[in-house]
Amino acid sequence: MELRPLRLPQDLIPLGKMICHTFQYPENPEWSVQTDEKEQIVDTIRIFRRLWPLVRLGQYLSPSLRDMFRGYVAVEDGKIVGLTMVQRHGTTDTWVVGTVGVLPEYRRRGLARATLESALELMRKRGARRAWLGVINGNTPAQRLYESLGFEVYDAMIDYTLTAPSLPSVSEIPDGYSISRLPRSDWRTRFELEERIVPEETRRYEPVEPGRFRQPLPLLLLVPIINRVQHTAEEAFVVRETDGDKTVAWCRYAASTRGKGVNSIAVRLDPARPELADYLVGRMLHEVVSKSPNLRVEIDVPRWMPAVAAAVESFGFKKRVEYLKMGLEL
């Protein structure tokens, strides 16, 4: 068994196949990577492989982008059988553990621990001060592994799904508020809202700092190219008080316009403004369904946004899985 760093772009295509086979749970099918998600994973990886020269150029121009794709893999007989993928959170000293997985037939051999421990050491060498990850609530073996390495639960997020959505009508925004498009380059609006609304216990492992939100120029230029090649329509909006211009929410949608994959929406709302939740969820659902009908829609809602969770459920979304967020100080 060989344990080695991730090699890109050579490992991209094998990783896509491995991920799709790894995250299958017959006893809990809602945990599994769904068929439409497999399509999206494979397509995204193929696009990154095609555009890798542009990615490398961006990494050359912006050092922080060199930490977008890091990790370790376990290889047996030339086949990737286990992996841990990590990346720096923007330009900060916080890192995200994106994927930890081992093919079913290679489990219980310590490969998840080995790849994760190697990735944690890599993060330390690159100046990381903390790391966080998400684990399915109920995946006891994975949670115990992370706890044994020092991770602790600090937050939770529910993944909601809506199958075969209908096009909702769009209501008027509540009095006292206005909504407008939010350019990708406007990082400060997102930062200032998050700085005001994110709970203290979440900030311990996900500090709200400009480096999380300010994207380097190469990334700002690269994302629209990826979206165009992937046939993804993406747009963000900001909601402000009409009296005083205070930002109280931002939201976005991402729609696959080629009839494959999964659509998504996101809402970040000041918990002190619950009256906006129904409007924002309905507006984003209308936007995404009008551009890409028939595809499943997903939204992740943190546990400290109960008004958004209630609005999501009122539009017919069902709870698919709850993720516990676990953090580690390095």
pLDDT tens per residue, range 246-268: 999 999 999 999 888 999 999 99
Q: What confidence score (pLDDT) does residue 16 get?
A: 87
Q: Which two tokens stand for residue 186?
A: 């406007």
Q: What is the DSSP-derived secondary structure letter of residue 180? A: E
CA-CA-CA-CA dihedral for 66, 8, 13, 212, to nearest 10: -10
Q: Whole-model pTM?
A: 0.94
Ranges of each domain in the chain:
2-159, 162-321
- Partnered with residue 324 across adjacent β-strands are 135, 156
Regions of the chain short of the pLDDT cut 50: none
Q: Which two tokens stand for residue 320?
A: 């698919």
**Largest interatomic CA distance in the chain:** 65
Q: What confidence score (pLDDT) does residue 118 get?
A: 98
Fold: same for 2-159 and 162-321: yes
Q: Domain 162-321 maps to which CATH number in 3.40.630.30, 3.40.1160.10, 3.30.413.10, 2.30.30.90?
A: 3.40.630.30
* CATH number for the domain whose boundaries are 2-159: 3.40.630.30
The H or E element containing residue 325 is strand 318-329
Instruction: Say if residues 135 and 142 touch (Cβ distance below 8 Å).
Output: yes
Instruction: Say if residues 57 and 101 touch (Cβ distance below 8 Å).
Output: no
165-202 residue pLDDT tens: 999 998 899 999 999 999 999 999 999 999 999 999 99
